[in-house]
Structure 1
Amino acid sequence: MARYIFITGGVVSSLGKGLASAALGALLQARGYTVRLRKLDPYLNVDPGTMSPFEHGEVFVTDDGAETDLDLGHYERFTGVAARHTDSVSSGRIYQTVLDKERRGEYLGKTIQVIPHVTNQIKEFLEVGADEVDFMLCEIGGTVGDIEGLPFFEAIRQFGQEKPMGQCIFMHLTLLPYIAASGELKTKPTQHSVKELRSIGIAPDILVCRADQPIPDKERAKLALFCNVRPERVIAALDLKSIYEAPLAYHAEGLDQAVLDAFGIAPAPAPKLDRWHDVADRVKNPEGEVRIAVVGKYTQLEDAYKSISEALTHGGMANRVKVRVEWVDAEIFEADEPAPMLEGFHGILVPGGFGERGTEGKIRAAKYAREEKVPYFGICLGMQMAVVEASRNLAGIDKAGSEEFDNEAGQTRYEHVIYHMKEWVEGNRTIQRSIDDDKGGTMRLGAYDATLVDGSQVAEIYGTSAISERHRHRFEVDITYRQKLEDSGLTFSGLSPDGRLPEIVEIKDHPWFVGVQFHPELKSKPFEPHPLFADFVRAALEQSRLV
């Protein structure tokens, strides 16, 4: 049976609970334990799938097709443990489940209340997979005191009480602000946060204090005294140059030892941290630099492309270079030529997205990369826009476009090289969709197999002809255009096993031009960079030597 670590936050949001959870998971793995991490989000959306990237950042997709919080990306990148749909839950999903049960009569006519029905449903969620790992790390989104989060805090309080002594601990992450005028780190916000937590029946076993400078012994002792935590369990979380230094930094502060001590595990296995020393060395000591332009539509918020940013960093680690990512708004190119802004970049990446806004700019970016022989990586919509560009400018299909854009405009303007996939095979089931279906959870989601063409560039990169990658999209490239496009120079180098769905396109007489329908960034890790990102950065490095 798993031991549970509940990670809560206070004072302000965005302090790094997800990163702290991921780093702790990595440290427990380094000591030989198995872990699973999960996220409990208080918002009322069923999942983040229909939320704007400006509102919530990227949507991280699991192999089994769940649309989840971006923190699950941190969990996977740091531990290598593939997340599942059971590792992410929101208030919306909990309430939906409770109400569905009520409609089916499962509560036998009882009055449905937050306690016990909602809290019991949360506890049921926490129990899933408890017999599979040594430690279950559960992060509660938001901050203590948020009204939406109260059922989750009550549920984990009950859970800790119901389990045997020593099976659950609580870790609270807070902020120690520095007041320059007095030259002090102030502990009062953390004291108030712990007081709020204790008022709902939860006493933290470990305090993790985010600060921009070391915590003096005086303040550490003060926190221990007023928050009723042992001094050695007051852990400093200092600002770092790279998130990949976090496991080593937290280990140096004694976080993993504090956790094991709180559980009474002694003697504790010694950690094996060679992997993380190597990762930190590759980040700190690059042997070169490449500039990559990410031409997207959500560039005002980097979290909208979090996994892409991290996967590019991993590609840099594989080549021992620093990847300098610069975010370019695709809409700019709808009015202006891209050349002045894209000159000097060693690679161009066009990521996924939804809707017509910015698409003509992405098409122009793909055209520039193709004509100027700059390495190009198109992901999801970025692949589709490369296909549209090739259709218009190589294959002579002047009105090539997407059904998605015509649906949005309410009129037919394009020849649909990209169209709405209404049916596909998932395992042994045939999935059918309508353009009028609800938006949430109705895409081709999760892991799907693909077969690579022998002798293709991507087959060489992967080193195999059979791959599995994660998808998140509603529209597909029309396979009926394959011959016309291949005759013009755009090769379909990866297809679904039944040959119906194009998965990868490439241009052979080009330094590096690849478009993929899936999201390879979701499976990249610092200690295991995705092969496409590693090779894209390699090509960018070659390009940097030419300019």
Structure 2
Amino acid sequence: MARYIFITGGVVSSLGKGLASAALGALLQARGFSVRLRKLDPYLNVDPGTMSPFEHGEVFVTDDGAETDLDLGHYERFTGVAARKTDSVSSGRIYSNVLEKERRGDYLGKTIQVIPHVTNEIKDWIAIGDEEVDFMLCEIGGTVGDIEGLPFFEAIRQFAQERPRGQCIFMHLTLLPYLAASGELKTKPTQHSVKELRSIGLQPDVLVCRSEQPIPDKERAKIALFCNVRPEAVIPAYDLKSIYQAPLAYHEAGLDQAVLDAFGISPAPRPDLSRWEDVMDRITNPEGEVNVAIVGKYVQLEDAYKSIAEALTHGGIANRVKVNIEWVDAEIFESEDPAPYLENFDAILVPGGFGERGTEGKIRAAQFAREHNVPYLGICLGMQMAVIEAARNTAGISAAGSEEFDHEAGKKRFEPVVYHLKEWVQGNYTVRRSADDDKGGTMRLGAYDAVLKEGSRVAQVYGTTRIEERHRHRYEVDVKYREKLEKAGLVFSGMSPDGRLPEIVEWSDHPWFIGVQFHPELKSKPFEPHPLFADFIRAAKEMSRLV
């Protein structure tokens, strides 16, 4: 039976609960324990799938097809444990489940209430997979005091009471603001946050205190006294040069030891941190640098492309180079020549997205990369735009476009070389979708196989001709244009096993130009960089030497 660590936050949001949870998971792994991390979000959306990237950042997709919070990306990158549908749940999902049960009559006509029905549903969700791991880390989204979070706080209070003593602990992340005028770190916000937590029946066992300044011993002692926490369980958390320094920094601060002490695990196994020491050595001692342009449409919020940015960093780790990322708004190129904006980069990446805005700019970015022999990686929509560019400028299909951008019924502006995917094979059955379906959860989601062409660049990169990658899209390149595009030199080097869906395209006469329909960034890790990103940065490194 798993031991549970519930991670909560206070004072302000965006303190790094997800990163602290992921780092703690990595430290427990380094001591030989198995872990699983889980995110409980109080918002009423069923999942983040239909939320704007500007609102909530990227959507992280699991192998089993769940659209989840971006924190699950941190969990996977730090622990290597593949997330599942059961590792992410929102208030919307919980209430939806409760109401479905009520409609079926599962509650035998009882009045449905937050306590016990909603809290029981949350507790049941928390307990899924209880026997599989040594530690289950559950992060509660938002901050203590948020009204929408109350059912979750009540549920974890009940859960801890119902488990054997010593099987659950609480870790609380707070902020120690520094007042420059007085030269003081202020502990009062942390005291009030813990007071709020205790008022709903939760006493933290470990306090993680974010601070921009060193925390003096006397301040740690004061926090411990007023928050009823052992002094050694007050853990400082400072700003870091790289997020991948977090496991080493938290270990040095004593986080993993404080957690094991709270569970009474003694003597604790010694940690093996060599993996993280190697990662940080490669980050802090690069042997060069490359400049990569990400030409996207959500560039105002970098979290919209969080996994891509991290995967590029991983590619840099693999090649021992620093990757300098510049975010370039694709809309700029809709009316201007892209050359002045892109000519100084060693590589160009065009990521996914939805809707027509910025797509002509992405097409022109792909054209610039093709014509100037700049390494190019197109992901999802970035692949589709590269295909449209090839169709227009090399295959003689001047009106090439996507069905996604023909909004008016009966008025077709484009010849749709990219069409709305209405049918595909998933496992042993066929999935069918229509354009009128609900938006949430109706895309081609999760892990699917692809077969790579013998001798192609991607086959060389992967070192195999059979791969499995995660998808999130509802539009697809139409395979009927394959012959015409391949005659122009654009090779369809990866296909679905049934040969109906193009998965990868590449230019045969280009130094490095690959477009993929899936999202390789979702499976990349600092200690196991995704092969596409590792080779993309290798190509960028070669490009930088030529300039």
Asked if TM exceeds 0.5, the reply is yes
Alignment correspondent of 1:249? 249
Matches within 5 A, 1:285-296: 285-296=285-296
Q: Secondary structure at the match of 2:337?
A: coil
Q: Secondary structure at the match of 2:497?
A: coil
Matches within 5 A, 1:103-182: 103-182=103-182
Confirm or deny that 1:262 pairs with 2:262.
yes
Residue segments in structure 1 that go unaligned for 5+ positions in a row: none
Confirm or deny that 1:55 pairs with 2:55.
yes
Q: Distance in 2 between matches of 1:411 and 1:179?
A: 61
Q: Distance in 2 between matches of 1:310 and 1:191?
A: 35
Q: Secondary structure at the match of 2:431?
A: strand
Residues 203 and 522 (structure 1 numbering): CA distance in 2 closer, same or farther, change over 3 Å? same
Alignment correspondent of 1:211? 211
Following superposition, the deviation at residue 217 of structure 1 comes to 0.6
Q: Distance in 2 between matches of 1:127 and 1:37?
A: 12
Q: Distance in 2 between matches of 1:409 and 1:357?
A: 19
Q: Secondary structure at the match of 1:36?
A: strand
Q: Secondary structure at the match of 1:290?
A: strand
Q: Secondary structure at the match of 2:207?
A: strand
Alignment correspondent of 1:438? 438
Confirm or deny that 1:190 pairs with 2:190.
yes
Alignment correspondent of 1:360? 360
Q: Secondary structure at the match of 1:486?
A: helix
Alignment correspondent of 1:35? 35
Q: State the AA in 1 paired with 2:283.
A: V
- The 8 Å contact of residues 292 and 323 in structure 1, kept in 2 or not, is answered as yes
Q: Distance in 2 between matches of 1:545 and 1:511?
A: 14
Q: Secondary structure at the match of 1:38?
A: strand
Q: Secondary structure at the match of 1:313?
A: helix
Following superposition, the deviation at residue 410 of structure 1 comes to 7.4
Residues 267 and 500 (structure 1 numbering): CA distance in 2 closer, same or farther, change over 3 Å? same
Q: Distance in 2 between matches of 1:485 and 1:166?
A: 63
Q: Distance in 1 between matches of 2:360 and 2:465?
A: 33
Q: Distance in 2 between matches of 1:203 and 1:410?
A: 63
Alignment correspondent of 1:418? 418
Q: Distance in 2 between matches of 1:525 and 1:490?
A: 30
Q: Distance in 2 between matches of 1:56 and 1:35?
A: 26
Q: Secondary structure at the match of 2:407?
A: helix
**1:171-198, Cα deviation, whole Å (9 max, x unpaired):** 0000000010111110000000000000
Confirm or deny that 1:513 pairs with 2:509.
no
Q: State the AA in 2 paired with 1:386.
A: A
Q: Distance in 1 between matches of 2:545 and 2:266?
A: 54
Following superposition, the deviation at residue 439 of structure 1 comes to 0.2
Q: Distance in 1 between matches of 2:503 and 2:2?
A: 39
Alignment correspondent of 1:499? 499
Alignment correspondent of 1:98? 98
Q: Distance in 2 between matches of 1:411 and 1:70?
A: 38
Matches within 5 A, 1:14-29: 14-29=14-29
Following superposition, the deviation at residue 407 of structure 1 comes to 2.9
**1:38-95, Cα deviation, whole Å (9 max, x unpaired):** 0000000000000000000000000000000000000000000000000000000000
> What is the alpha-carbon root mean square deviation over aligned residues?
0.7
Alignment correspondent of 2:327? 327
Q: Distance in 2 between matches of 1:411 and 1:397?
A: 18
TM-score (norm 1): 1.00
Q: Secondary structure at the match of 1:504?
A: strand
Alignment correspondent of 1:545? 545
Matches within 5 A, 1:466-477: 466-477=466-477
Following superposition, the deviation at residue 395 of structure 1 comes to 0.1
Q: Distance in 2 between matches of 1:90 and 1:233?
A: 30
Following superposition, the deviation at residue 508 of structure 1 comes to 1.4
Residue segments in structure 2 that go unaligned for 5+ positions in a row: none
Q: Distance in 2 between matches of 1:409 and 1:33?
A: 57
Q: Distance in 1 between matches of 2:88 and 2:410?
A: 36
Alignment correspondent of 1:376? 376
**1:285-320, Cα deviation, whole Å (9 max, x unpaired):** 111000000000000000000000000000000000
Q: Distance in 1 between matches of 2:281 and 2:411?
A: 55
* Paired residue total: 547
Q: Distance in 1 between matches of 2:147 and 2:408?
A: 37
**1:520-540, Cα deviation, whole Å (9 max, x unpaired):** 000000000000000000000
Q: State the AA in 1 paired with 2:504.
A: I
Following superposition, the deviation at residue 26 of structure 1 comes to 0.1
Q: Distance in 2 between matches of 1:294 and 1:159?
A: 44
Q: Distance in 1 between matches of 2:411 and 2:542?
A: 45
Q: State the AA in 2 paired with 1:160.
A: A
Q: Distance in 1 between matches of 2:284 and 2:373?
A: 31
Following superposition, the deviation at residue 343 of structure 1 comes to 1.0
Residues 505 and 408 (structure 1 numbering): CA distance in 2 closer, same or farther, change over 3 Å? farther
Alignment correspondent of 2:454? 454
**1:8-34, Cα deviation, whole Å (9 max, x unpaired):** 000000000000000000000000000
Confirm or deny that 1:240 pairs with 2:215.
no
Residues 382 and 312 (structure 1 numbering): CA distance in 2 closer, same or farther, change over 3 Å? same
Following superposition, the deviation at residue 339 of structure 1 comes to 0.2
Q: Secondary structure at the match of 1:545?
A: helix
Following superposition, the deviation at residue 412 of structure 1 comes to 1.2
- The 8 Å contact of residues 356 and 408 in structure 1, kept in 2 or not, is answered as no
Following superposition, the deviation at residue 411 of structure 1 comes to 3.0
Q: State the AA in 1 paired with 2:318.
A: A
Q: Distance in 2 between matches of 1:127 and 1:149?
A: 19
Following superposition, the deviation at residue 408 of structure 1 comes to 6.7
Confirm or deny that 1:387 pairs with 2:387.
yes
Q: Distance in 2 between matches of 1:407 and 1:12?
A: 42
Instruction: Give runs of ≥4 in structure 1 deviating > 4 Å.
Output: none
Confirm or deny that 1:274 pairs with 2:300.
no
Q: Secondary structure at the match of 2:406?
A: helix
Alignment correspondent of 1:534? 534
Q: State the AA in 1 paired with 2:134.
A: D
Following superposition, the deviation at residue 126 of structure 1 comes to 0.5
Q: Secondary structure at the match of 2:142?
A: coil
Q: State the AA in 2 paired with 1:461.
A: V
Q: Distance in 2 between matches of 1:408 and 1:240?
A: 50
- The 8 Å contact of residues 319 and 538 in structure 1, kept in 2 or not, is answered as yes
- The 8 Å contact of residues 355 and 408 in structure 1, kept in 2 or not, is answered as no
Q: Secondary structure at the match of 2:390?
A: helix
Q: Secondary structure at the match of 1:407?
A: coil
Q: State the AA in 2 paired with 1:397.
A: I
Confirm or deny that 1:69 pairs with 2:69.
yes
Q: Distance in 2 between matches of 1:545 and 1:373?
A: 14
**1:361-386, Cα deviation, whole Å (9 max, x unpaired):** 00000000000000000000000000
Residues 493 and 262 (structure 1 numbering): CA distance in 2 closer, same or farther, change over 3 Å? same
User: Which moves more between the two structures, 411-420 or 34-43?
Assistant: 411-420
- The 8 Å contact of residues 206 and 259 in structure 1, kept in 2 or not, is answered as yes
Q: Distance in 1 between matches of 2:407 and 2:131?
A: 48
